Amino acid sequence: MLKQPLMLLLIGVVVGGLGWASWRTFGTKPAPPAAPVAQPDEPQVVYVEDSDLSPIRRVRQYAATIDRLIGMRAQLLRYREGVVDTLAEGRAAQRAARDYIALVQRWNELLAGIARDSVGRYRPESRYAAPLERSANMIAAARASLQGAVAYDRVLPRAERQQRLDAARGYLANARTNLSELPR
């Protein structure tokens, strides 16, 4: 006889536990979905009208800056490869190291002026959208190539610097071809 009440008690506890669990699961309201948080690293796309030629002018300015950096070819290639040591023995070695660091600073300042994200965009259906996008991509590739040509702590091998300058020149030529399709 004792077994029957104990069995009923056990069944009651199991059913009560299942009821409580289902009430906790289904009886509560789900939390409202969180609002999407804007990522600060994602640039905001600004569309401009076809009558606004400022994005085209800006990309042309960037192309001129790339051309100016490529024009500094002789300055960049004159340094011997190796570690840049401003405490090297001898005035000539110290001076060469300081001159190289000054060149790298100027180089990086010019590259910093080329900001891909600040270029306004035309709507995809615009007649200027595709050539401008191709030009901006070529300028970005030239910028990346030139950025890799210098380092503060060492002078890269001459062949590598020359290769990066040549690549940037090729990207610039492609950008100018695409820019020729756009109004002045």
Residues 6+ apart with CB under 8 A from 120: 46, 47, 48, 52, 54, 55, 58
- Per-residue pLDDT tens over the stretch 16-61: 777 766 666 665 555 556 555 555 555 566 788 888 888 899 999 9
> H-type helices in the chain, by residue range?
3-26, 54-71, 73-77, 91-112, 129-147, 158-179
Residue type at position 112 = A
- What is the pLDDT at residue 134? 92
Measure the CA–CA gap between 151 and 76, rounded to whole angstroms. Answer: 11
Helix/strand/coil for 155:
strand
Q: Which residue has the higher pLDDT, 81 or 47?
A: 81
- What is the pLDDT confidence band of residue 87, given thresholds at 50, 70 and 90? confident
Q: Which residue has the higher pLDDT, 118 or 171?
A: 171
- What is the pLDDT at residue 31? 57
- Per-residue pLDDT tens over the stretch 121-171: 888 899 999 999 999 999 999 999 999 999 989 999 999 999 999 999 999
Place of tokens 């010019």: 110
Rounded to 5 degrees, what are φ and ψ at 27?
Answer: -85, -15
Measure the CA–CA gap between 166 and 28, rounded to whole angstroms. Answer: 65
